[in-house]
Amino acid sequence: MLKKSLPLIIIAALTALFFASGLHEYLSFEQLREHRLELNAWVAAQPVLAALVFILAYVVVVAFSLPGGTIMTLAGGFLFGAIWGGLYTVVGATLGATAIFLIAKTSLGDALLAKAGKSIQSMKAGFQDNALSYMFVLRLVPLFPFFIVNLAPAFLGVPLRTYVIATFLGIMPATFVFSLAGSGLGKVFEQGESFSIAGILTPEMMGALVGLALLSLVPVFYKKLKGKGTSA
Protein backbone atom coordinates (compact mmCIF):
# COMPACT_ATOMS: atom_id res chain seq x y z
CA MET A 1 0.00 0.00 0.00
CA LEU A 2 2.80 2.39 0.99
CA LYS A 3 4.74 1.52 -2.16
CA LYS A 4 1.75 2.41 -4.38
CA SER A 5 1.12 5.69 -2.61
CA LEU A 6 4.81 6.69 -2.45
CA PRO A 7 4.76 8.68 -5.76
CA LEU A 8 1.71 10.61 -4.57
CA ILE A 9 3.43 11.35 -1.25
CA ILE A 10 6.51 12.60 -3.11
CA ILE A 11 4.42 14.87 -5.36
CA ALA A 12 2.51 16.26 -2.37
CA ALA A 13 5.78 16.83 -0.48
CA LEU A 14 7.42 18.64 -3.39
CA THR A 15 4.34 20.80 -3.91
CA ALA A 16 4.26 21.70 -0.22
CA LEU A 17 7.98 22.48 -0.34
CA PHE A 18 7.41 24.74 -3.34
CA PHE A 19 4.92 26.88 -1.41
CA ALA A 20 6.73 26.69 1.95
CA SER A 21 10.00 27.89 0.40
CA GLY A 22 8.23 30.88 -1.12
CA LEU A 23 9.18 29.95 -4.67
CA HIS A 24 5.62 30.65 -5.83
CA GLU A 25 6.21 34.31 -5.01
CA TYR A 26 8.80 34.50 -7.80
CA LEU A 27 6.19 33.54 -10.39
CA SER A 28 4.71 37.00 -10.55
CA PHE A 29 4.71 40.02 -12.81
CA GLU A 30 6.32 42.13 -10.07
CA GLN A 31 9.25 39.72 -9.70
CA LEU A 32 9.79 39.70 -13.44
CA ARG A 33 9.86 43.50 -13.44
CA GLU A 34 12.27 43.64 -10.50
CA HIS A 35 14.76 41.07 -11.80
CA ARG A 36 14.47 41.76 -15.52
CA LEU A 37 18.02 43.11 -15.92
CA GLU A 38 19.65 40.09 -14.26
CA LEU A 39 17.48 37.69 -16.21
CA ASN A 40 18.23 39.39 -19.53
CA ALA A 41 21.95 39.36 -18.75
CA TRP A 42 21.82 35.65 -17.91
CA VAL A 43 19.94 34.79 -21.11
CA ALA A 44 22.44 36.80 -23.16
CA ALA A 45 25.40 35.07 -21.50
CA GLN A 46 23.95 31.52 -21.44
CA PRO A 47 21.20 31.32 -24.11
CA VAL A 48 21.15 27.52 -24.42
CA LEU A 49 21.26 26.87 -20.67
CA ALA A 50 18.64 29.56 -20.06
CA ALA A 51 16.31 27.98 -22.62
CA LEU A 52 16.75 24.51 -21.10
CA VAL A 53 16.14 25.81 -17.57
CA PHE A 54 13.03 27.67 -18.73
CA ILE A 55 11.61 24.57 -20.45
CA LEU A 56 12.37 22.40 -17.41
CA ALA A 57 10.73 24.93 -15.09
CA TYR A 58 7.64 24.97 -17.29
CA VAL A 59 7.52 21.17 -17.24
CA VAL A 60 7.54 21.22 -13.44
CA VAL A 61 4.86 23.91 -13.22
CA VAL A 62 2.51 21.99 -15.52
CA ALA A 63 3.27 18.49 -14.20
CA PHE A 64 2.65 19.56 -10.60
CA SER A 65 -0.22 21.91 -11.51
CA LEU A 66 1.52 24.83 -9.85
CA PRO A 67 0.32 28.41 -10.34
CA GLY A 68 2.29 30.70 -12.62
CA GLY A 69 1.86 29.26 -16.10
CA THR A 70 0.59 32.55 -17.52
CA ILE A 71 3.38 34.68 -16.08
CA MET A 72 5.94 32.14 -17.29
CA THR A 73 4.53 32.32 -20.81
CA LEU A 74 4.83 36.11 -20.69
CA ALA A 75 8.34 35.78 -19.29
CA GLY A 76 9.27 33.45 -22.13
CA GLY A 77 8.30 36.07 -24.66
CA PHE A 78 10.10 38.78 -22.71
CA LEU A 79 13.34 36.82 -22.32
CA PHE A 80 13.56 34.91 -25.60
CA GLY A 81 11.32 36.84 -27.99
CA ALA A 82 7.83 36.04 -29.26
CA ILE A 83 8.82 33.12 -31.52
CA TRP A 84 11.43 31.30 -29.43
CA GLY A 85 9.68 32.11 -26.17
CA GLY A 86 6.43 30.71 -27.54
CA LEU A 87 8.15 27.60 -28.84
CA TYR A 88 9.93 26.92 -25.54
CA THR A 89 6.64 27.36 -23.72
CA VAL A 90 4.81 24.95 -26.04
CA VAL A 91 7.55 22.34 -25.60
CA GLY A 92 7.63 22.71 -21.81
CA ALA A 93 3.84 22.69 -21.45
CA THR A 94 3.49 19.65 -23.71
CA LEU A 95 6.17 17.70 -21.83
CA GLY A 96 4.60 18.62 -18.48
CA ALA A 97 1.11 17.67 -19.66
CA THR A 98 2.46 14.40 -21.05
CA ALA A 99 4.12 13.65 -17.72
CA ILE A 100 0.87 14.03 -15.77
CA PHE A 101 -0.94 12.02 -18.46
CA LEU A 102 1.49 9.13 -17.93
CA ILE A 103 1.30 9.48 -14.15
CA ALA A 104 -2.49 9.18 -14.38
CA LYS A 105 -1.96 5.79 -16.04
CA THR A 106 -0.11 4.49 -12.96
CA SER A 107 -1.27 3.68 -9.44
CA LEU A 108 -1.78 7.42 -8.89
CA GLY A 109 -4.68 7.40 -11.31
CA ASP A 110 -7.38 6.79 -8.70
CA ALA A 111 -6.20 9.68 -6.53
CA LEU A 112 -5.97 12.03 -9.50
CA LEU A 113 -9.38 10.90 -10.74
CA ALA A 114 -10.90 11.79 -7.39
CA LYS A 115 -9.31 15.23 -7.62
CA ALA A 116 -10.68 15.73 -11.14
CA GLY A 117 -14.25 15.12 -9.97
CA LYS A 118 -17.29 14.95 -12.25
CA SER A 119 -15.65 17.00 -15.03
CA ILE A 120 -14.24 13.78 -16.47
CA GLN A 121 -17.68 12.34 -17.20
CA SER A 122 -18.81 15.52 -18.95
CA MET A 123 -15.96 15.07 -21.44
CA LYS A 124 -16.60 11.40 -22.12
CA ALA A 125 -18.97 11.80 -25.08
CA GLY A 126 -16.67 14.28 -26.81
CA PHE A 127 -13.71 11.94 -26.69
CA GLN A 128 -15.82 9.04 -27.94
CA ASP A 129 -16.94 11.02 -31.02
CA ASN A 130 -13.50 12.15 -32.16
CA ALA A 131 -10.67 12.22 -29.64
CA LEU A 132 -8.26 14.34 -31.70
CA SER A 133 -10.79 17.03 -32.62
CA TYR A 134 -12.15 17.22 -29.09
CA MET A 135 -8.64 17.51 -27.66
CA PHE A 136 -7.99 20.42 -30.01
CA VAL A 137 -11.14 22.15 -28.79
CA LEU A 138 -10.19 21.68 -25.13
CA ARG A 139 -6.70 23.04 -25.76
CA LEU A 140 -7.86 25.99 -27.84
CA VAL A 141 -10.68 27.17 -25.61
CA PRO A 142 -10.50 26.97 -21.78
CA LEU A 143 -13.78 25.14 -21.28
CA PHE A 144 -12.25 23.23 -18.35
CA PRO A 145 -9.24 23.89 -16.08
CA PHE A 146 -5.89 22.97 -17.66
CA PHE A 147 -5.27 20.36 -14.95
CA ILE A 148 -8.53 18.56 -15.78
CA VAL A 149 -7.80 18.59 -19.51
CA ASN A 150 -4.42 17.03 -18.77
CA LEU A 151 -6.00 14.19 -16.82
CA ALA A 152 -9.27 13.38 -18.57
CA PRO A 153 -7.77 11.81 -21.73
CA ALA A 154 -5.77 9.36 -19.62
CA PHE A 155 -8.92 8.05 -17.93
CA LEU A 156 -10.98 7.98 -21.13
CA GLY A 157 -8.65 5.90 -23.25
CA VAL A 158 -7.17 8.60 -25.50
CA PRO A 159 -3.98 7.31 -27.17
CA LEU A 160 -0.75 8.99 -26.07
CA ARG A 161 0.09 10.02 -29.64
CA THR A 162 -3.28 11.75 -30.09
CA TYR A 163 -2.88 13.47 -26.75
CA VAL A 164 0.61 14.79 -27.49
CA ILE A 165 -0.23 16.01 -31.02
CA ALA A 166 -3.42 17.78 -29.94
CA THR A 167 -1.70 19.33 -26.94
CA PHE A 168 1.34 20.56 -28.87
CA LEU A 169 -0.67 22.09 -31.71
CA GLY A 170 -3.76 23.06 -29.72
CA ILE A 171 -1.96 25.27 -27.19
CA MET A 172 0.06 27.08 -29.86
CA PRO A 173 -2.39 29.89 -30.78
CA ALA A 174 -2.99 31.19 -27.24
CA THR A 175 0.63 30.56 -26.25
CA PHE A 176 2.03 32.68 -29.05
CA VAL A 177 -0.48 35.45 -28.32
CA PHE A 178 0.77 35.64 -24.73
CA SER A 179 4.38 35.24 -25.83
CA LEU A 180 3.96 38.13 -28.26
CA ALA A 181 2.52 40.22 -25.44
CA GLY A 182 5.47 39.21 -23.26
CA SER A 183 7.94 40.34 -25.91
CA GLY A 184 6.60 43.86 -25.49
CA LEU A 185 7.04 43.96 -21.72
CA GLY A 186 10.40 45.68 -22.02
CA LYS A 187 8.70 48.87 -23.15
CA VAL A 188 6.10 48.52 -20.40
CA PHE A 189 8.83 48.18 -17.76
CA GLU A 190 10.87 51.09 -19.08
CA GLN A 191 7.90 53.44 -19.12
CA GLY A 192 6.59 52.25 -15.76
CA GLU A 193 3.22 51.38 -17.25
CA SER A 194 0.72 48.96 -15.71
CA PHE A 195 0.01 45.60 -17.28
CA SER A 196 -3.13 43.48 -17.23
CA ILE A 197 -3.80 39.94 -18.40
CA ALA A 198 -7.30 41.08 -19.32
CA GLY A 199 -5.74 43.33 -21.92
CA ILE A 200 -4.47 40.27 -23.79
CA LEU A 201 -7.71 38.29 -23.65
CA THR A 202 -9.58 40.67 -25.94
CA PRO A 203 -12.92 39.71 -27.52
CA GLU A 204 -11.13 39.51 -30.88
CA MET A 205 -8.56 37.05 -29.57
CA MET A 206 -11.18 34.90 -27.86
CA GLY A 207 -13.29 34.98 -31.01
CA ALA A 208 -10.34 33.75 -33.05
CA LEU A 209 -9.73 30.86 -30.63
CA VAL A 210 -13.40 29.90 -30.70
CA GLY A 211 -13.30 30.00 -34.49
CA LEU A 212 -10.34 27.63 -34.56
CA ALA A 213 -12.12 25.36 -32.10
CA LEU A 214 -15.18 25.20 -34.36
CA LEU A 215 -12.98 24.36 -37.34
CA SER A 216 -11.42 21.50 -35.38
CA LEU A 217 -14.94 20.11 -34.81
CA VAL A 218 -15.63 19.80 -38.54
CA PRO A 219 -14.61 16.09 -38.59
CA VAL A 220 -17.07 15.41 -35.76
CA PHE A 221 -19.95 17.13 -37.57
CA TYR A 222 -19.05 15.33 -40.79
CA LYS A 223 -19.01 11.98 -39.02
CA LYS A 224 -22.47 12.63 -37.54
CA LEU A 225 -23.91 13.77 -40.86
CA LYS A 226 -22.40 10.81 -42.66
CA GLY A 227 -23.84 8.48 -40.03
CA LYS A 228 -27.32 9.96 -40.49
CA GLY A 229 -27.03 9.66 -44.25
CA THR A 230 -26.00 6.03 -43.98
CA SER A 231 -28.83 5.18 -41.59
CA ALA A 232 -31.35 6.87 -43.89
> What domain range includes position 98?
25-191+200-231
Confidence class for position 148, pLDDT limits 50, 70, 90 = confident
| Position 116 in a domain | yes
- In whole angstroms, what is the distance from residue 209 CA to residue 174 CA? 8
Whether residue 6 has pLDDT greater than 60? no
Q: What is the SS3 assignment for 65?
A: coil
Name the residue type at position 44.
Answer: A
| Domain annotation covers residue 186 | yes
Collect all residues with Cβ–Cβ distance below 8 Å to 44 and sequence separation of at least 6.
none
Residues 73-97 have a mean pLDDT of 94
Residue 90 lies in a domain: yes
* 1 domain-assigned: no
Rounded to 10 degrees, the C-alpha dihedral 204/73/22/39 comes to: -130
- Kindly tell me the burial class for residue 189, based on how many C-beta atoms sit within 10 Å of its own C-beta (0-12, 13-18, 19 or more): middle
**CA of 19: how far to CAs of 13, 14, 23, 134, in Å?**
10, 9, 6, 34
Query: Left, alpha or beta for 194 (phi > 0: left; psi -120 to 50: alpha)?
Result: beta
Q: Which parts of 105-217 fold into alpha helices (H)? A: 109-116, 119-129, 131-140, 146-155, 160-170, 172-183, 185-191, 203-216
Q: Is the pLDDT of residue 75 over 50?
A: yes
Sign of the torsion formed by the C-alpha atoms of 112, 118, 121 and 123: negative
Note the pLDDT of residue 156.
79
**140 falls in which pLDDT band (50, 70, 90)?**
confident
pLDDT score, position 187: 79
* Across 195-219, average pLDDT: 56
Query: Which has the minimum average pLDDT: 101-105, 149-153, 208-212?
Result: 208-212
**How high is the pLDDT of residue 218?**
52
DSSP SS3 for 28 = coil
Answer yes or no: is pLDDT of 60 > 70.
Answer: yes
Total of domains in the chain:
1
Please tell me the total number of residues recorded for the chain in this structure: 232
Position 147 confidence tier, pLDDT thresholds 50, 70, 90: confident
The better pLDDT of the pair 148, 1 is held by 148
Looking at residue 195, its pLDDT comes to: 63
Asked, for residue 108, whether it belongs to a domain, the answer is yes
Is 18 domain-assigned? no
Q: What is the pTM of this model?
A: 0.75
The one-letter code for the residue type at 81 is G
- The whole-number average pLDDT for the span 125-130 is 70
User: What's the whole-number mean pLDDT along residues 154-174?
Assistant: 87
Instruction: Tell me the pLDDT band of 151, cut-offs 50, 70 and 90.
Output: confident
Is 185 part of any domain?
yes
Residue 14 lies in a domain: no
The Cα 66–Cα 150 span in angstroms is 13
Helix (H, G, I), strand (E, B) or coil at 194: coil
